[in-house]
Amino acid sequence: MRIVVLNILSVLLFISCNTSSDNVEKDSKYGIVIHGGAGNIVKENIPDSLIAEYNNKLEEALDAGIVILEKGGKSIDAVEAAIHILEDSPLFNAGKGSVFTHDGLNEMDASIMDGKTLNAGAVSGVQTIKNPISAARTVMIRSEHVMLSGRGAEKFAEDHGLIIVDKTYFYTRKRWESLQHIIEKQKKDKYGTVGCVAVDIHGNIVAGTSTGGMTNKRYGRVGDSPIIGAGTYANNNTCGISATGHGEYFIRYTVAHDISALMEYKGVSLKEAADIVINQKLKSVNGSGGVIGIDKDLNICMTFNTPGMFRGYATSNGDRQVLIFK
């Protein structure tokens, strides 16, 4: 008798598990939002052929992430895959296309954060890691630290089997010429960074950001991109954010966390929170740049106070768009 009851119970358990996983599949929502930097990006200054190249690369990055999410894959894999596409392209100021420091080096920063666990990883000032976002992910998952810098971060990445390249890999003529141009004018250029935020069918939000920093930066300057709460933040209860812009302002105003905090403490929507921080707080002090973000209900923000921001999103609702100008 006892065995019969147990058998019936296990059949019922089997049916209920299967039904609930079917429901997860049916109701499953996922989405991804990316950026390739904000700045003085105006149509008149970019040839049509280059606009097409940017659009194609943003579409390719969205595809790389969405293909993972639609199969029920994890948001962290989607974020890393999308950022790899942008890091491997010379078009954006991250990985291959990183800008030069004043001393003619490429010093990259990246970070990633998991909104479920609030775990995070970051690297700063790395010169030989092909995909800094993967180094950030490895720091998050395989170390007890949040941020590693310079040679130590490179050694850690090498020890964990990441692709290490010769420093000359990051040379691109365009970035070299812009350094010479900027040195002549003694100015700083603040555009380019890449970022991605994704939510998977389990409602887990992950945000990541990767950058070469600012052209002509000196003395080991570190921007907002590797700083959790400034350039990157994720919390399943609120949203995930990746930022781009004049890093010093994003650090001082803890931009990414501020948006999450407005949602958490004041109950405002993602869009409204991003608008308050980017278009009111930052704008009033001339802090230029923007953010992308997503929450578990697939609300998306792509908010910036500059003339343009390379950006795009795709969701399980079938919504998809790639944009550059205002």
Cα–Cα distance, 247 to 214 (Å, whole number): 8
Q: For ligand ASP, which residue of 247, 287, 308, 312 counts as binding (CB under 6 A)?
A: 247
Binding to ligand ASP (CB under 6 A) within 177-206 occurs at 190-193
Q: How many residues bind ligand ASP (CB under 6 A)?
A: 16
Q: For ligand ASP, which residue of 95, 245, 287, 308 counts as binding (CB under 6 A)?
A: 245
Cα–Cα distance, 212 to 32 (Å, whole number): 23
- 147 touches ligand ASP by CB under 6 A: no
Least separation in angstroms between CB 267 and ligand ASP: 29
Strand bridging mode 147-149 / 120-126: parallel
Least separation in angstroms between CB 312 and ligand ASP: 17
Could you list the active site residues? 193
- 315 touches ligand ASP by CB under 6 A: no
Q: For ligand ASP, which residue of 225, 238, 254, 288 counts as binding (CB under 6 A)?
A: 225
The residue among 39 and 73 lying less far from ligand ASP, judged by its C-beta, is 39
- Longest CA–CA span in the chain (Å) reads 89
The residue among 65 and 245 lying less far from ligand ASP, judged by its C-beta, is 245
- 211 touches ligand ASP by CB under 6 A: yes
- 312 touches ligand ASP by CB under 6 A: no
- 95 touches ligand ASP by CB under 6 A: no
Least separation in angstroms between CB 317 and ligand ASP: 29
Q: For ligand ASP, which residue of 89, 93, 215, 288 counts as binding (CB under 6 A)?
A: 93
Least separation in angstroms between CB 99 and ligand ASP: 8
- 308 touches ligand ASP by CB under 6 A: no
Q: For ligand ASP, which residue of 77, 200, 224, 295 counts as binding (CB under 6 A)?
A: 224
User: Where do we find the tokens 């049509």?
Assistant: 48
Least separation in angstroms between CB 125 and ligand ASP: 11
Cα end-to-end span (Å), the chain = 71
Cα–Cα distance, 218 to 147 (Å, whole number): 20
The residue among 114 and 224 lying less far from ligand ASP, judged by its C-beta, is 224
Binding to ligand ASP (CB under 6 A) within 8-37 occurs at 37
Burial of 234 (0-12, 13-18, 19+ CB in 10 A): buried
- 223 touches ligand ASP by CB under 6 A: yes
- 226 touches ligand ASP by CB under 6 A: no
Least separation in angstroms between CB 13 and ligand ASP: 51
Least separation in angstroms between CB 223 and ligand ASP: 2
User: Where do we find the tokens 């280059």?
Assistant: 50
Is the alpha carbon torsion for 20, 25, 27, 32 positive or negative?
positive
Binding site for ligand ASP (CB under 6 A): 37, 93, 190-193, 211, 213-214, 223-225, 231, 244-245, 247
